Structure 1
Amino acid sequence: MTPMSTDATVTAVGSDPAGTTDDDLPDDRFLDRELSWLSFNQRVLELSEDPTVPLLERARFLAIFASNLDEFFMVRVAGLKRRIATGLAVRAASGLQPREVLTCVAEKTAQLTHRHADVFRDEIKPGLEELGIRLSRWDELEPAEQERLHTLFRERIFPVLTPLAVDPAHPFPYISGLSLNLAVIVRNPSTGLEHFARIKVPPLLPRFTKASDQRFVPLEDVIAAHLHLLFPGMQVLQHHTFRVTRNEDLEVDEDEAENLLQALERELMRRRFGPPVRLEVEEAIDPHLLDLLKGELGVDDDDVYSLPFPLDLTGLHAIADIDRPELKFAPFVPGTHRDLVDVEAREASIFATLRRGDILVQHPYDSFATSVQAFIEQAAADRNVLAIKQTLYRTSGDSPIVDALIDAAEAGKQVLVLVEIKARFDEQANIKWARKLEQAGCHVVYGLVGLKTHCKAALVIRQEGDRLRRYAHVGTGNYNPKTARLYEDFGLLTASNEVGEDLTNLFNTLSGFSFGVGYKRLLVAPEDVRDGIIERIEQQVELARSGRPARVRIKVNSLVDEATIDALYRASSAGVSVDLWTRGICAVRPGVPGLSENVRVRSILGRFLEHSRVFEFGVGEESEVWIGSADMMHRNLDRRVEALVRLTSPEHVSELRGFLDLGFDEATASWHLQGDGEWVRHHVDENGTPLRDLQEYLIGVKQRRARSARV
């Protein structure tokens, strides 16, 4: 990658003739998004390497790293390869050609995967063994343990295995994506001929098989120890595990699809047969066997990752789930928001509470069940509620939200549900719930052609005397009770007429035909989120030019959009303080003279996934604060329906300002992005004392408030 120029002088754009256009900005001002994503996963890996993190949580971070990398290859690497193959490859904003990106990705991934394997082998596995949790190979088991697994194999494993031979009568079998497999070489003692066979490790069986109390063996090791039963009469010469990752991104032509639901169901079937993009093999694999796999699968040397045993450490989630609370984060039970305590106690309705004022909740610190879920459930049960309209992007398999909507429809209420069936990797589940909602009498729509509906919004229309009143929720996270315990998100519950009118217009746009709708307290993509954000950045530029305090603070999952980044560069050059908090990808180069001296970029990872999107423009009481569903990425701003809502309560604006203050405080542990794209972890001070853990600090704040409320 070409290093960032440090001698460029950039001034702000505006009516001033001395201003410059974006064409005057240096060409190498953007970091590469794919490499930035790998840096994010490196930060996850660093948490697994941190000895101050509880040991089973370190194991979980190893599993998260592995599953993150799987999705990266299935989607991002697969997309790069597809564009190259179809001749649609264009230079990235970072200046790299797709082939150059793939080369960098391969180099970086090789480094990270070996580092990942080393952490497991040298730290996690020995550490667990010292504490009585042993991850062993077959040969390390006691005779009694092996005998127990012999019985288990015969009764529960052997019947579901299907060895597939390769010979003139049996072509090379299809290898499904992310499946773990044993490649076996056997010899016919009569003829001396050698044969290849493949055994798929059953994905529905536990990845680590229990040999005895808190002693586990990889399932493929158990199978390998019994290959003589799978190939009776043959000599088993060698066996090695391998794993294939395939292109699993969806391509649905909505313009041609008469029924989007049926088209997506067909595409999900085709997804399983996408071309391979990665082959993981054991380091000890026989070179001839590796050549066979590469040839049959059609993968190049650059697509092969040779790793120590065991492959597929996503299975460590099961180990992290072991009931050893002393090896995990201290338990935390979300509490009810202070303004909803009476609602939880059934001393007041949520609607009466909202008529007194807006409520801002932050999950998981505030309970989802007693706030957002209670809002939908009370609406479904309230005989004065006439209609409920809601978006569903992702939800859980046993969702009380879906159940409440079904109850509402069966009670005769008008229920409109916008189900985004193209939510990546949740398509099958969303199709299931869409069908169930339709059968219950809900009006189910699938949004606008060409756009994913990603906004998080719910609208309740209630008869109150001789008038209708609208109640609403706009949030940054999904209506998913399970992830709400793990994802950090904000949500606004309100009886505001302006928000109610805005959501009425938004839902009418999504379910019917309406264009050019104006919104009062919302910014809605793809129409005006990007323009609205840039307009407010430019307002801060004008303040800075007039000598007044000016600031932009943004917290998002990812920041890639070039137009937004250029606006932030212009703001920095004009003297605006720019603080950016990204969990994942960030294409901004901070701290570059003449371009971004006033830009700081931070990242925070921990026990919860930082998921909220928060935007602040201005300083102090004059600041304007928004929350919503949109990240600063092309897909969010151009190809999705997103919604941001402006907070108007001084108390809520102050609360969000305080939250951002904590995130950017030098005393808070975080990663700092450098201008060359490297992230540096700052988690101890100069004396080695740990810095503030933001999430643990906020847990403590909520717990202290709960104790005070009980006194």
Structure 2
Amino acid sequence: MTLAKGQRDASAFINKGVDVVTKTDSKVESKTTGVKKKSPAKRTHSRTLVKREKSIPVIKDTKSVDVTNPEFYLNREINWIDFDRKVLEQAEDKSVPLLERVKFLSIFFNNLDEFFMVRVANVWKQVQSGAEATGADKLPPRRQLSEIGRRVRELSEEAEDLWREVLVPELEKQSIRIVSYADLSQKKREILSNYFDHDIYPILTPQVIDSGHPFPLVSNTSINFIIELVNEKNKSDVRYARLKCPNNVPRFLYLPRGKEEVNPKLVYDSNYSEVNVVLVEDLIEECMERLFPGYKVNAVGQFRITRNTDGEIEEDEADDLLAAVRDYVDQRRFGDIVRVEMGRGMPVRLADLLIEHLEVKPHQIYKQRIPLAFSEFMSLGCIDRPKLQYKPDPTKLAKELDGERDCFDAIKKRDIVLYHPYDRFQAVLNFIDQAARDPKVVAIKQTLYRCGSNSPVVRSLLEARRRGKQVTAVVELKARFDEERNINWAEELERAGVNVVYGFVGLKIHAKLCLVVRREESGIKRYVHIGTGNYNASSAKIYTDLGLITADDEICADVTDLFNVMTGCGDISSYRKLFVSPKSLRPSITKLIQEEVALHREHGNGHIMIKCNQLVDGEIIAELYKASMAGVKIECVVRGICCLRPGIPGLSENISVKSIVGRYLEHARVYWFHHNGDERMYIGSADMMSRNLNGRIEVLTPIDNEKIRRNIMNNIMRLQLSDTEQSWIMEPTGAYKRYVRAKGVKKVDAQNAQNHLKSLY
């Protein structure tokens, strides 16, 4: 759309380094974005993430060290930003296929959305309530908020530069051109115009803003327009309106650049040799005057609101947990505003109008020079252009679980451990489906946390019920952002006669469990699957996870008891073999660390390896510090947040921390203790976070089979510790440095599927 004469485009102020949203506050960080930076194409990465304000502590007397000293801990929110920086690095990596780089950039922005909705919202609530620092690092909430804003703005600017200056030109070289309406030929514009009239116009709802029509509630993460209108016959009649971009129309409209016939639905066609891509919000902006007959659109800007979704469900007061969760989901769409993103070209006066009506602070405003809701660009990265995407990795299907033979006979003979996605998740689906159809199976019990849409697991449970088996599904309704889907699954299962339990009051059920009960000639026999990841066939293709399938009598008895606790009202403090939070998991891990210290003092061979997603819990970190000070070697592979500071002399010089971020999202949890040669290894759903240890039902299961334990050590743990391609090393300051392989050093890629073609069992 052409700006009206005299209209002030906020981008003009950006170039001059002027504050776009005015209302400057000396206490709030500058929002100036006019500082020129090197483009990503020319940027030289030091491979070190954002500098830390923390220096390396000097410990003079190791005998009097207080391991709870806040200086020894990193802030979880700021450390999370470092994780998202690693995701952005993947988008910047030229060795990654082009459309995969687009996907990584969309993941970067999606992560930021969830970070603001949950974590920043929580910090903001602490500031508003005057709460003291809650983490082991004791960083005051107000300082956290300021540091988060500074770092997010820096990273966002880098991400925007990457899109504008690198990825868009690279896409154009591959005949994928992001264009505006004005860039198109007259014929293509007519096609888009007709599409707007027939497919978009009928579902748009313009809302005027005046004394009789207050500023409407804006739903979370929706794209919106703020519009200034002038009466064509009376120039003094100026009106303002809000228009929501509908979320039930395609975001990307594809038109061939050549002579190929246009798909009438404007979806991508792999037959297009060259393609123009128009964003639906740009088409709406171009055609929106049709919604306001008699008025001219004088100015327009796009904006998007991020709201607090970290509300609490009043479980204790609810008579019906399902209804309480449904109400919570409905209310969440209109939680407190945490962030307002303003799109490119937002006029200053409209920005001021938004700030006034939304009643937000200047530090909550984020200017964005690329399309809003960039997380939705994942679908652009998924178009059918295989040469611009990862080649499919070779995978294997466990022969015992191929769906053709009796898997139960094989499981009775030996434990099976699967490492997804290198082992196809189809093996787990076959195990559950065979149980559903096997006439000897009398009962199936299953936990469901994030099972996805069109779930094969749910289909198998429904099939089992149709065949007359006793089926129990423990559906965690409180799985964040999956609540609605889980409600739908729970209701469908219940209608089919499945015994459905809606989670556990006061606790989230995060454990990944499937129990199969079979009547055999020798009597009742039980089989169990315990996983580190969700029963989700889609995410299992991109998450690395471990799963144990066993007929071990004690483990099966433990899982049976745990299901009875989850569905009934019992309370068990300890189990035969499993570690289960919130009762036994923390004390069991603590005891193993302390035993390693005692054995090291006697034998001098203490060694701990940890692979997890997050290492945050202050009490566990304190125990690891004590173990390091006693001389125990501790090696950690932590994909996400790590609040521990490794390599500090006198405290943690025996601890190393690395993070692997690559093609697959590292999701498996493994805890290994040398134990003077009597090795102990546990896998399961639990990270070392207070929420996992105190506020969830989590399970860690032992790996008792020596061969399996050795294979996990060699093919996962040691391989990841030796990785040279996707690794970030944490320094004592808390900063991460990208590992750069020196000349002559052997290349080791822990995520290379060729390293995982052999079975672990």
Would the alpha carbon gap of residues 688 and 122 (structure 1) be closer, same or farther in structure 2, given more than 3 Å must change?
farther
TM-score of the aligned structures, taking structure 2 as reference length: 0.88
One-letter code aligned to 2:295: M
The answer to whether structure 1 residue 98 and structure 2 residue 141 are counterparts is: yes
Deviation at 1:124, TM superposition (A): 0.7
CA contact 2:420–2:545 (8 Å) conserved in 1: yes
The aligned counterpart of 2:755 is 701
The answer on whether the counterparts of 2:209 and 2:215 sit within 8 Å (CA) in structure 1 is: yes
**TM alignment of 1:345-424, pairs within 5 A:** 346=404, 348-369=405-426, 371-424=427-480
Describe the SS at the equivalent of 1:637.
helix
Separation of aligned partners in 2, 1:283 and 1:133: 22
User: Counterparts of 1:542 and 1:10 in 2: how far apart (Å)?
Assistant: 22
Closer, same or farther in 2 for the Cα pair 1:654/1:475, shift >3 Å? same
Query: Of 724, 728, 731, which aligns to 1:674?
Result: 731
Partners of 2:741 and 2:673 in 1: CA distance? 30
Out of 48, 52, 72, the residue aligned to residue 29 of structure 1 is 72
Q: 1: distance between equivalents of 2:423 and 2:64?
A: 46
Say whether the 8 Å CA contact 1:591–1:599 is kept in structure 2: yes
Runs of 4+ in 1 over 6 A off after TM superposition: none
Q: Is the 8 A contact 2:565 2:572 kept in 1?
A: no
Residue 608 of structure 2 is aligned to residue 552 of structure 1: yes
Q: Does the aligned pair in 1 maintain the 2:301–2:350 contact within 8 Å?
A: no
1:607 to 2:663 alignment = yes
Q: CA RMSD in A?
A: 1.9
Compute the displacement of 1:315 (Å): 2.2
The aligned residue for residue 709 of structure 1 is none
Amino acid at match of 2:645: R
89-98 vs 103-112, greater mean Cα deviation: 89-98
Which of 442-451 and 470-479 deviates more? Answer: 442-451
Q: 2:59 matched to which residue of 1?
A: 8
Q: How far apart are residue 536 of structure 1 and its match?
A: 0.8
CA contact under 8 A between 2:403 and 2:430: conserved in structure 1? no
Corresponding residue for residue 17 of structure 2:
none
* Shift, 1:702, TM fit: 4.3
CA offset digits 1:646-678 (Å, max 9, x no partner): 001111101111110011115353011112221
Instruction: Give the Å deviation of 1:2.
Output: 5.5
Find the counterpart in structure 2 of residue 74 from structure 1: 117
Distance of 2:304 and 2:350 partners within structure 1: 14
Amino acid at match of 1:597: E
Superimposed CA distance per residue, residues 140-198 of structure 1 (whole angstroms, 9 cap, x where no aligned partner): 22333222211211221222211111122221111111001121111113332221111
Deviation at 1:448, TM superposition (A): 2.6
Match of 1:294 in 2: 355
Contact 2:68-2:136 at 8 Å conserved across structures: no
Whole-angstrom CA distance in 2 between matches of 1:507 and 1:342: 26
Contact 1:10 1:25 in 2 (8 A): no
- Between the aligned partners of 1:8 and 1:342, the Cα distance in structure 2 is 55
The answer to whether residue 311 in structure 2 is matched with residue 250 in structure 1 is yes
Residues 5 and 26 in structure 1, CA contact (< 8 A), matched pair in contact too: no
Kept in 1: contact 2:79–2:641 (CA 8 A): yes
Measure the CA separation in 1 of the matches of 2:593 and 2:685. Answer: 19
1:195 is paired with a residue whose SS is: strand
Cα separation, 1, equivalents of 2:534 and 2:379: 25
Q: Which sits farther off after the overlay, 211-220 or 238-247?
A: 211-220
C-alpha contact (below 8 Å) 1:208/1:315 kept by paired residues: no
* Contact 2:656/2:730 (<8 A) preserved: yes
Provide the secondary structure at the position in 1 that maps to 2:165.
helix
Contact 1:10-1:24 at 8 Å conserved across structures: no
1:579 aligns with 2:635: yes
Q: What is the distance in 1 between the residues matched to 2:723 and 2:383?
A: 36
Q: Check if 1:169 corresponds to 2:212.
A: yes
Q: Does 1:186 align with 2:229?
A: yes
Work out the CA distance in 1 between the residues paired with 2:225 and 2:306.
15
Q: CA 1:666 to 1:355, structure 2 compared with 1: closer, same or farther past 3 Å?
A: closer
**Cα gap change, 1:468 to 1:24, in 2 (>3 Å):** closer
Shift of the 442–462 alpha-carbon distance from structure 1 to 2, 3 Å rule, reads same
Match of 1:528 in 2: 584
1:570 aligns to 2:621 (yes or no): no
Tell me, in whole angstroms, the C-alpha distance in 1 between the residues paired with 2:303 and 2:736.
Answer: 32
Question: What one-letter code is carried by the residue in structure 2 that aligns with 1:3?
Answer: K
| Match for residue 344 of structure 1 among 399, 402, 418 | 402
Q: Which of these residues, 316, 319, 333, is aligned with residue 377 of structure 2?
A: 316
Q: Cα deviations across residues 621-662 of structure 1 (Å, max 9, x unaligned)?
A: 532111000011111000000000000111110111111001
Counterpart of 1:426 in structure 2 is: 482
Partner-residue secondary structure (3-state), 1:83:
helix
For 2:70, the aligned partner's letter is D
Equivalent in the alignment of 1:280: 341
Read off the aligned partner of 1:357 and give its amino acid letter: R
Matched pairs, number: 689
Checking the alignment, whether the CA contact within 8 Å between 2:67 and 2:622 is kept in structure 1 is no
1:588-607 to 2 correspondences below 5 Å: 588-607=644-663
Q: 1:344 to 1:228 in 2, by over 3 A?
A: same
Provide structure 2 residue ranges, at least 5 long, that are not aligned to the other structure.
1-51, 257-271
Separation of aligned partners in 1, 2:219 and 2:230: 26
Q: 1:221 aligns with which of 282, 306, 310?
A: 282
AA aligned to 2:755 is V
CA gap of 1:361–1:10, structure 2 versus 1, over 3 A, is farther
Corresponding residue to 1:627 among 673, 683, 686: 683
Q: Is the 8 A contact 1:603 1:672 kept in 2?
A: yes
When structure 1 is superposed on structure 2, of 426-435 and 139-148 the one drifting more is 139-148
Q: Which amino acid aligns with 1:288?
A: R
Q: Distance in 1 between matches of 2:64 and 2:682?
A: 29
Q: What is the CA–CA distance in structure 1 between the aligned matches of 2:252 and 2:735, rounded to whole Å?
A: 36
Q: Which residue pairs with 1:269 in the alignment?
A: 330
1:335 counterpart residue number: 396
CA contact (8 A) 1:505 1:517 kept: no
1:567-601 CA-partner distances (Å, limit 9, x unpaired): 11111111111111111111011111111111111
Cα separation, 2, equivalents of 1:453 and 1:25: 30
1:652-663 correspondence to structure 2 within 5 Å: 652-658=708-714, 659-663=716-720
Q: Secondary structure at the match of 1:379?
A: helix
* Structure-2 residue corresponding to 1:259: 320
- In 1, the alpha carbon distance for the partners of 2:106 and 2:253 equals 17
User: Displacement of 1:688 after TM fit?
Assistant: 9.7
Assess if the C-alpha contact under 8 Å between 2:514 and 2:530 holds in 1.
Answer: yes
Q: Which residue of 1 aligns with 2:186?
A: 143
Q: Which has the higher mean CA deviation after the structures are superposed, 424-433 or 162-171? A: 162-171
Q: Distance in 2 between matches of 1:263 and 1:660?
A: 42
Matches of 2:747 and 2:304, distance apart in 1 = 40
Call closer, same or farther: CA 1:653–1:211 in 2, change over 3 Å: same
When normalised by structure 1's length, the TM-score is 0.94
Residues 1:115 and 2:168 aligned together: no
Assess, with a 3 A threshold, how the Cα gap between structure 1 residues 539 and 356 changes in structure 2: closer, same or farther. same
State yes or no: 1:204 paired with 2:260.
no
**Is 2:507 the partner of 1:451?**
yes
Aligned-partner SS, 1:8: coil
Question: How do 1:442-481 and structure 2 match up within 5 A?
Answer: 442-481=498-537
1:322-364 Cα distance to aligned partner (Å, 9 max, x none): 1111111111353202xxx154262x31100101100000111
Deviation of residue 564 (structure 1)? Answer: 0.5
* Distance change >3 Å, CA 466–CA 655, structure 1 → 2: closer
- Contact 1:335/1:702 (<8 A) preserved: no
Q: Which moved more, 1:164-173 or 1:473-482?
A: 164-173
How many Å separate the matches in 2 of 1:411 and 1:618? 47
Partner of 1:491: 547
Tell me the residue number matched to 2:39: none
Q: Which moved more, 1:661-670 or 1:428-437?
A: 661-670
